[in-house]
Structure 1
Amino acid sequence: MNPRDRNILIGAIVAVVLVVVAYYVFLLGPARSRYARLQRQHSSKQAELARLESSVAHLNRVKQQSPRIQRQLLQLDKRLPNSPQIPTLLVQLQEISRASGVTQLSIKPGSPEPPVGGGDFSRIPITMSFEGSYDQMQDFYTRLLNLARLVSVTQVTYQPAGGTTGAGSGGGMLQVQIEAEVYVQPPIGQTGGGSAPPAPVTSGGAATGGG
C-alpha cells in the first residue's frame, strides 16, 4: 500500500471514530440519560398511581362500612351519654337485680369526677350492695357488664349474709358490694348539671326510682 492510500485509510478510520464519538456524545448519551430520567418518572408515577388506587380502595371500604360505623356511633352515644342519666341507670340496675334474683338492692351514685389520668369525659362512681347466692351474684355481675350503658367494675367484695368473713361458692346467702363507674362524654364543667349526687336508692325487692 502506497503512502497516499495509507493516509486515505487512516483518515477514513479517524473519521469513523469521530462520527462514533460524536454520535455517542451528542445523540446516544443524551438519549440514554433522557430514557433513564423517563424511567424514573414512570416508576414515580406508577408508585403514585398505586397509592391513589389504595386510597380509593380504602375510601370505598369506608363507604361500604359507613352504615356499620353509624350504628357503632349510635351505640357509643348510648354507652357514653352526654348527661348523667342516673334515673335511667337506676331503673336498669333494678331490672337486672330482679332478673338475677338478688334482694335488698342499695344503689348509691356519687358525684361526677374527672377521670384518673385525664380524658375528655367524666366518671360517676356507683356503689351497689345486695344479698343473694353466689350464682345470683355472678348472674348480676354478668348482666351489669352487658348493660346498654358502659359500666366499669372496680371492686367486688362479699361475705356470708350472717356477717362472718370469707365465703365460697356454696348455696348460702351472701352480702355483696360492687364498686363501679359509669361515664359521661363531656368533661367536668360541661355536663350542665349540679355537682350534688342523686339520693341513694334502697329496696327490699323492686326498688323505686331515684333522682
Structure 2
Amino acid sequence: MSGRSLVLIGLGILLLLILLGYLLVVGPLLGRLSDRAEERDAKEAQVAQLQAQVQDLERVRDNSGELGQRILELNKRVPSEPEIPTFVVQLQQIAGAAGVTQVRIEPGTPGAPPQGGPYSVVPITMTFEGTYEGLRDFLLRCNDLVRLVTINSVAYEPIIVDAGEEDLATGVEPILNVEIEAEIYFQPEGDGGGAAPISPEATTGATETTTVTEETTVAQ
C-alpha cells in the first residue's frame, strides 16, 4: 500500500473520530448549553417582571397617602342621605351667581347605578333661561359644588322673540332655554350595594322660591 493511500486512510479515520466526537460529546454539550441559555433567559424575564411589580407596589405605596386623601374627599361629596333640599339650595345659589333665571329643578326616583356599586343615584332634571356665558358659568360652578354632580347631557335652544318686539341691540347674546340632565349620589350607611328607599318628603322638602334675579321652582 502506498504512502498516499495510508495518508488518505489516516485522514478518513481522523474525520470519523471527529464526527463521532461531535455526535457523542460536542453535540449533547451544545444542546445542554442551549437549554441553559433558554433557562437563563426565562429567569431574566421573570426577574424583570418581578422588578416591574416591585416598582408598581412602590409607586402605590408612595401614592397611598394622596389616594387616601382623594378617597376621603370623594366620600365627603357623597353623603349618607339624599339631602335633596340642601342640594336644591346649592343650585339656587349657583344659578343666581351665574345670572340664569326661571330655574326649575326636578328630582327623579333614586335607583342603583347601572354598573353596580355601594351607592344610590338620584337623577336630576334642571331647566333655566340664560345666555351661553351664563350656561357655561353654571356648569363650572356645578363642578365646584360640595356635592358630587355628574352632568349627563346639556340641551339648549335660543328663545324666539315675537315679531312685534323690538330686536335686541347688535352683539347682545341671545337668551337660551336650557335643559340639563344630571345625577347626584348618596351612600346609605351599612348599605350592601343596592339602592336605598327614599321618602317622598326627602324629594319635596324645598318650596318655590322667588327673588328679584331669579325664579326657582322645585317640581313636586
> Superposed, which structure 2 residues align to 1:1-211 within 5 Å?
3=1, 16-79=14-77, 83-102=81-100, 105-113=103-111, 118-120=114-116, 122-130=120-128, 135-148=133-146, 149-157=148-156, 170=172, 176-184=177-185, 190-194=194-198, 196=200, 198-199=203-204, 201-205=207-211
Contact 2:110 2:198 in 1 (8 A): no
Contact 2:103/2:128 (<8 A) preserved: yes
TM-score by length of 1: 0.67
* Equivalent pair of 1:86/1:198 in contact (CA under 8 Å): yes
Amino acid at match of 1:180: E
Give the C-alpha shift of residue 50 in structure 1: 1.6
Identity over aligned pairs, percent: 27
Deviation by residue 1:18-42 (Cα, 9 ceiling, x = unmatched): 5433322222111111111111111
Q: Is the 8 A contact 1:105 1:131 kept in 2?
A: yes
> What's the offset of the Cα at 1:198?
1.0
> 1:82·1:185 contact (CA, 8 Å) conserved in 2?
yes
Classify 1:132/1:43 alpha carbon distance in 2 versus 1 (closer, same or farther; 3 Å).
closer
How many pairs does the alignment contain? 202
Q: State the TM-score, normalizing by the size of structure 2.
A: 0.65
Check conservation: 2:105, 2:124, Cα contact below 8 A: yes
Contact 2:107 2:122 in 1 (8 A): yes
Q: Which moved more, 1:70-79 or 1:23-32?
A: 70-79
**Any idea what SS the aligned residue of 2:196 has?**
coil
Query: Which segments of 5 or more consecutive residues in structure 2 lack a partner in the other structure?
Result: none
The 3 A distance-change label for structure 1 pair 201 and 128 is farther
**Could you tell me whether the CA contact under 8 Å between 1:133 and 1:171 is conserved in 2?**
yes
CA distance in 1 between partners of 2:35 and 2:48 (Å): 20
